Amino acid sequence: MTTSPKTEDLLVGQTLDEKYLIEHRLSAGGMGSVYRARHLQMDRPVAIKFLHQRLLADEASRIRFQREARAAVRLQHQNAVSVTDFGETADGHVYLVMELLEGPTLREILMKEAPIETARAISIMMQASAAVAAAHEAGIIHRDLKPSNILVTQSPDVRAVVKVLDFGVAKLAHHALDDDEGAITLRQAGALIGTPRYMAPEQYNGHELTPAADVYSLGVILYEMLTGMAPFTGSSPVEIAAKHVSDPPQPPRRIVAEIPEDVERLVLHAMEKAPEDRPANADEFRRELLETAERLGLEHQALTSVPNFEALRNEGVESPSGRLVVDIKRVRALSSGSNEIKIVHRGHDSRSRVKDPKEVGSGSFLDKVKRILGRR
C-alpha cells in the first residue's frame, strides 16, 4: 500500500471494529500492507492486510471484494492461510484479518538455497497443491500463485508446513508493482492476469480461466525450485509473455542432471501451453506428484484428517490404571499434513533398505497411530 509514512503511523495504534489493535507493520507489496495486530477479546495475535485503496476505487469493486472475502473466509484447509474476518475503516481502508504466521516465504528460501533437492521440492509442492485443490473444489481460482505467496512455517513439535496466501484477493487487483517478484501484476481486458514469470499462456490472452491456469503456475514454481531459475525471463513483461505463449521451456534435466526423469515429465506436463493438455486442476496435479513419489521410492505422508476421539481411543494404549496413553507430539507430527518426503535409499544395508509396504504408506491415519503406539 503506497501510503505516506504519516498515514501508516496513523494506522499503528488504531483499533478496528473495537477488537483489533494494530501493533506494527510487517510487510508491504503491490496488493497492500500487512500489519501485526492483536484480537483484544481473545488476546491473540493476528495479521491484518490493508488492501491498496486503488484496488477498490468504485462501488462495484467493493461489492466484488465482499464476495471474494466471504469465499476466502469459507476456505478452510491446513495448507491455506486462514482468513477469519474482513471489514472497512471509516476513512475507507479495506482490510482482511488472517492467522499470523512466522516463517520464510518460498521466495526467500529460493534466494538462499536454490536449487532445492528433489524430495524437498516435491514435499513443498504437494502441500501447496493440496491447498490450491481445496480452493478449486470451492470454485476459487487463485490466479497469482508465486513463491512470495507461499509461506513455510516451522515449530518445534511439527515438521515444516506450507501455507498458501491470498486466495480470492488477487482477482481484485487492477495494476500494481509487486516488489517481491520484481514484476508487474497486470490487468487486461477487465481481467486480472497475474505476475508474468508465473502466468499461464491463457492469462495473457484474457481468456476465461480454468483451474488449469493455477496448475501451470504450480508447474513453473516447481521448475524454479528444482533448477534454481524461472523457465522464462525477459527485460519486459511483454517479452516474458511471448515466451510463455510460444516457447517451450528448457527441460529441467539439462539444467540439473540429477532431477529424475519422472519428475521432469510431470513438471513439463503441468506447463503445457494448452489448458486441456495439463492436469485439469490442482487435485489431479497433486495425485501425479504422489504417484511419482511412490514410483521413485520416496517415503511420504499423505494429507489425512484427524480421527475422531472414539476412533483414537480404540487405538490407544491402556495403562495399568485404565487411562488411555497417547504420545500427542508424535501423533501431531504425523497428522500435521506436512507431506514431508524423504528418499528411501535402495541398498543392502539395513539402514537404507526399502521399507515394507506395511510400514510405509499403509494408507489411513489410524494405521500410522497404530505404528506409533506399537499396535500393528
Q: Could you list the active site residues?
A: 144
* Torsion angle of C-alpha atoms 242, 243, 245, 249, degrees rounded to 10: 180
Crossing angle (nearest 10°) for helices 211-227 and 282-295: 40
Burial class (CB in 10 A: 0-12, 13-18, 19+), 114: middle
Cβ atoms 343, 309 nearer than 8 A: no
Three-state DSSP string of 247-314: CCCCCHHHCCCCCCHHHHHHHHHHCCCCHHHCCCCHHHHHHHHHHHHHHCCEECCCCCCCCCHHHHHH
Helix ranges (H only) for the chain are: 5-11, 59-74, 106-113, 118-137, 201-204, 211-227, 237-246, 261-270, 282-295, 309-314, 328-335, 365-373
What is the identity of the amino acid at 92?
A: G
Segment 288-297 long-range contacts (CB within 8 Å, at least 24 positions apart): 289/122, 289/125, 289/126, 289/129, 290/126, 292/122, 292/260, 292/262, 292/263, 292/266, 293/119, 293/122, 293/126, 293/341, 294/361, 295/262, 296/260, 296/262, 296/263, 297/343, 297/344, 297/346, 297/354
Per-residue burial over 165-201, b if 16 or more Cβ lie within 10 Å, else e, is bbbbbbbbbeebebebbebbbbeeeeebbbbbbbbbb
99, three cell numbers: 492467522
